[in-house]
Amino acid sequence: AGCAGVVMACYSAAGFTWGATFSASAPASILLCNAAFGKCQAACAVVLLGPTP
């Protein structure tokens, strides 16, 4: 769920399977999906690993 669900939907919409390995020639749509996944994971890490008041 969460970030993984979003990236799986993104890959499916682009016609690919999440988890497949791409070389440097990955389509732009997949690079955008990966970038969005990275931003989502980073945002979750800030919340989960941040100090608790």
Beta strand spans in the chain (E): none
Tokens 């399977």, located at residue: 17
Integer Cα distance of 12 and 45 in angstroms: 25
Task: Return all residues near 33 (Cβ < 8 A) that are at least 6 apart.
Answer: 7, 10, 11, 14, 18
Q: What's the maximum distance between 2 C-alpha atoms anywhere in the chain? A: 45
pLDDT for residue 1: 67
pLDDT for residue 17: 86
Task: Return all residues near 22 (Cβ < 8 A) that are at least 6 apart.
Answer: 30
pTM across the whole model: 0.76
Q: Print pLDDT tens along the chain (53 aa).
A: 689 999 999 999 999 888 777 777 888 898 899 999 999 999 999 989 988 87
